[in-house]
Structure 1
Amino acid sequence: MSFFDNLFHKNQFISNDESRILLLSMREIHDLAAYCLLYEIEDVTYNMDKVDIIGLANSYDLYFFRKVYYLINSVTRSTILAKSLTPQLSPFSVEKEYELFFPIFNFFSELFLLQSIKGWRNKCQKAACYISEVWEHQIYKRKSLLEFLKDFDHIFLGVRNSTEVITKLTGKPCTYVPPAVDVLKFAPHSLSSHRGIDVCGIGRRSNITHKALLELAEKRKMFYYYDTMKTSSDVKYGKKQITFRVKNYKEHRSLLSNILKRSRYAITNRANANEPYKTGGKEEFGYRFFEGAASGTVMIGVPPATKEFTKYFDWEDAVIPIPFDAPNIAETIAELDAQPERLARIRKDNVVNSLLRHDWVYRWQEILETVGVEPTEQLLERQAKLRKVADELQQLPIAN
């Protein structure tokens, strides 16, 4: 056993005899709460397709080796030399043949991990990847990582604003595919179920809005659910968002779905609303819009001012707009509380539209159609189940 072997845990490999698709997952590499949504598509896909999953083992030297790669490339100006001289991270050799190789990346820098997968291009008829978060300024800063995209037939991004630059720099077709959720997990059992949480405010937040909600909770004995971990939404002095890690991403997703299904309102803002410098000033979706809509909560916050958001959330009152810093949020909640029929309609519209449009099955079908791979019977069955639930809800009268 070599010195480097001692640095790593073993890779995970979930295999089925009839698998036609090979997924590469980051679930063993990164355990941030913010990334758990993306691991959900892997589980949904596994249950409705014939899939093998590689879970690369974590290593405490992952970031060090990536810096080594950057350094070698910077000195030699050669991505080929950088790839060959950088130590291998828990290498995995693809032995079976597949119709499609599909890595799913949380962010741009994870492309570096492709150097650990050996033989994927020769063993897979087609290859495409999904990168959830990549901002244009990051691409130009780390252009050497584009070398890892050269063998893909198609690239899918979870953000709209970077598709053109990726296509321009790689010569590969690039398509925007927004996030989604496991709607069957997030949807409430009944539209009239009791919602014991008055306001849910988790993740990135405005300190001003948070203070106003804390005061409202004290005055009205309202149940305001919020994070108590150390966070920062004030970037004036260079502070950065601090997130948290989870032990089990499935348990975290289940807990989050149960919280939102029991929340009357949820604060929901565009991606990186408290750190706009991270996006280069570009506005994009946040995951919480899809989670909130599927759960039937009433979303209040700052949606992105983009045509994509209008396209995917085009029903009335999908989000009740308020400023990011909303010291008068109590007035907004009081006005909404005085309109119970409107709130009931919003809950119903949110869930129904999510069932028909924002489950992962629809994103996976779009990806398969784009790369020319036929859908499975299980995929069509899941769509039929979602439509059936949506039809049943649409038949119900709007109840306060």
Structure 2
Amino acid sequence: MISPPVKPRVLVFSLRNIFGRALNRCPHYEFEDIICEIDSAELLAPTVDPASRRASVATRLGYHAPLALNPGIPKPQAKGPYDLLFTICGFPQDLIMFNAVSNLRDVCKTSVCLLDELWARDIHKHRHFLPILAKFDVVMQYHSQTVKPLSDVIGPRCRYLAPGVDATLFCPYPDPPERAIDVYSMGRRPKLTHQKLLSMARDSGLFYVHDTISGSQAIDSREHRAQIANLAKRSRYFLVNSGKFDSPEETGHQVEFGYRYFEGAASGAIMLGERPNNEVFPKLFDWPDAVIQVPPDSGEIDRAIRELDREPERQDRIRRTGVAQALMRHDWAYRWEAILDAAGLQPLPGLAARKQRLKTLAETASGHSPMSSPAEFDLIGS
């Protein structure tokens, strides 16, 4: 007898067909894809008419009045019921997309929204979008220092969740490639550091890979992530800095950090740059030499590289430790586990199977059995 198909228990509401392949959203889609691989999940990704101005008009109005206009999303017919509704919003204004299909909440027992970027100073600016968060049982944030001020506005439903990475994609093991790239930098970079590396590339043949265009769209999000992973695990050094470090006027001097640190560790590249002065960073990256401190305005990147190049054993230890730590603590599997815990759901076998693969790779990377538990602190603590 043929068994009936298993009904999905998770509905993932994705914005991938609305915002396309914006580079800053590619990690969102990576996380969503892994959820669909390791859980019983259905992906719902509506579209909007690209020729219509309804989305931009609805967003602009939302900044000035408590109006939640439909940006042009047709209301889907949810199959339901589901145990969990999950969505990732890059910014608070994305919430109008969810609000347009808020009937989905009626067929889901619990709902969780993951909010990528909200600076505490901008809470008032987004005040008309934030009431939509009341539709969710749990609101998770990548910005740890925004949890309390946002909770003061929408109630005690906010929790911190660290960003993550597809650690298997970035892992250089079991067959590590040659690290032919000396220094890899993507996105924002400190001006003095960049100029110093350019001079090293010119004068001493340093192979310095950096962005030379300012486009914001990927041709294909999965190919983009794979390309970043391939470059990172072929790089000796990897530049990292806190979020919008060069635009304190945008952040109100709030210090947060994003995907780069997780990608650098997972790839086994040695991270050079800033150790963010943030209360959760030392708990997430608590191993020796997780980041080699090079202040963005110091221009001392050349000295740091020369010193490390004289210590090959130290380099090998840094690389192996970073990879193992990422595999055992910072893969998306652990973030999904934290979300399930917040929603009161038990993980399915697919999650355990992925964690076992991660553990096996971590043992290969470290050369011995790694830590037995993925983290030493509460990843979703408020």
Please confirm whether the aligned pair reaches a TM-score higher than 0.5, indicating the same fold: yes
Q: Distance in 2 between matches of 1:19 and 1:278?
A: 41
Is residue 186 from structure 1 mapped to residue 170 from structure 2 by the alignment? yes
* CA positional deviation for 1:364: 0.5
**2:116 is matched with which residue?**
132
* CA positional deviation for 1:88: 4.2
Q: Distance in 2 between matches of 1:86 and 1:67?
A: 12
Instruction: Note closer, same or farther for the CA distance 1:148–1:93 as it changes in structure 2 (3 Å cut).
Output: farther
Larger RCO, structure (CA 8 Å, separation 6 or more): 2
* CA positional deviation for 1:86: 5.3
* CA positional deviation for 1:103: 1.1
**Match 2:34 to one of 41, 44, 62:** 44
The runs of 5 or more residues in structure 2 that have no matched partner are 370-382
Q: Distance in 1 between matches of 2:172 and 2:9?
A: 34
**2:321 is matched with which residue?**
349
* 1:176-224 C-alpha deviation (Å, 9 max, x unpaired): 0010001010000247531000000111012221111011011111110
**Match 2:355 to one of 375, 383, 396:** 383
The one-letter code of the counterpart of 2:18 is I
* CA positional deviation for 1:22: 0.6
Q: Distance in 1 between matches of 2:175 and 2:246?
A: 32
Is residue 322 from structure 1 mapped to residue 315 from structure 2 by the alignment? no
The answer to whether the Cα contact below 8 Å between 2:9 and 2:83 also exists between their aligned partners in 1 is yes
**1:246 is matched with which residue?**
218
Q: SS of the counterpart of 1:343?
A: helix
Q: Distance in 2 between matches of 1:131 and 1:100?
A: 17
Q: Distance in 2 between matches of 1:200 and 1:54?
A: 35
**Match 2:248 to one of 253, 276, 284:** 276
The runs of 5 or more residues in structure 1 that have no matched partner are 1-15, 74-78, 231-242
**1:63 is matched with which residue?**
56
Q: Distance in 1 between matches of 2:33 and 2:75?
A: 23
**2:212 is matched with which residue?**
228
Q: Distance in 2 between matches of 1:119 and 1:215?
A: 57
* CA positional deviation for 1:89: 3.0
**1:293 is matched with which residue?**
265
**1:374 is matched with which residue?**
346
Q: Distance in 2 between matches of 1:56 and 1:128?
A: 18
Equivalent pairs, count: 361
* 1:217-245 C-alpha deviation (Å, 9 max, x unpaired): 11111110000014xxxxxxxxxxxx521
Q: SS of the counterpart of 1:92?
A: coil
Is residue 256 from structure 1 mapped to residue 237 from structure 2 by the alignment? no
Instruction: Note closer, same or farther for the CA distance 1:185–1:113 as it changes in structure 2 (3 Å cut).
Output: same
**Match 1:29 to one of 18, 35, 44:** 18
Q: SS of the counterpart of 2:115?
A: strand
The one-letter code of the counterpart of 2:332 is W
Is residue 96 from structure 1 mapped to residue 85 from structure 2 by the alignment? no
**Percent pairwise identity:** 34
The one-letter code of the counterpart of 1:167 is S
Instruction: Note closer, same or farther for the CA distance 1:87–1:219 as it changes in structure 2 (3 Å cut).
Output: closer
Q: SS of the counterpart of 2:136?
A: coil
Q: Distance in 2 between matches of 1:393 and 1:141?
A: 46
Q: SS of the counterpart of 1:290?
A: helix
Root mean square deviation of aligned Cα: 1.8
The answer to whether the Cα contact below 8 Å between 2:73 and 2:101 also exists between their aligned partners in 1 is no
**1:202 is matched with which residue?**
186
* 1:324-355 C-alpha deviation (Å, 9 max, x unpaired): 12423212111110111110000000000001
The answer to whether the Cα contact below 8 Å between 1:94 and 1:117 also exists between their aligned partners in 2 is no
**1:20 is matched with which residue?**
9
The TM-score with structure 1 as length reference comes to 0.86
The one-letter code of the counterpart of 2:74 is S
Is residue 336 from structure 1 mapped to residue 320 from structure 2 by the alignment? no
Superposed, 1:153-168 pairs within 5 Å as 153-168=137-152
Q: Distance in 1 between matches of 2:181 and 2:297?
A: 22
The answer to whether the Cα contact below 8 Å between 1:191 and 1:348 also exists between their aligned partners in 2 is no
Q: SS of the counterpart of 1:264?
A: strand
Q: Distance in 2 between matches of 1:117 and 1:223?
A: 49
The one-letter code of the counterpart of 1:183 is A
Deviates more, 1:87-96 or 1:354-363: 87-96
The one-letter code of the counterpart of 1:89 is I
**Match 1:173 to one of 148, 157, 160:** 157
The answer to whether the Cα contact below 8 Å between 1:69 and 1:86 also exists between their aligned partners in 2 is no
The one-letter code of the counterpart of 2:131 is E
The TM-score with structure 2 as length reference comes to 0.90
**2:125 is matched with which residue?**
141
Instruction: Note closer, same or farther for the CA distance 1:326–1:387 as it changes in structure 2 (3 Å cut).
Output: same
Q: Distance in 1 between matches of 2:75 and 2:122?
A: 26
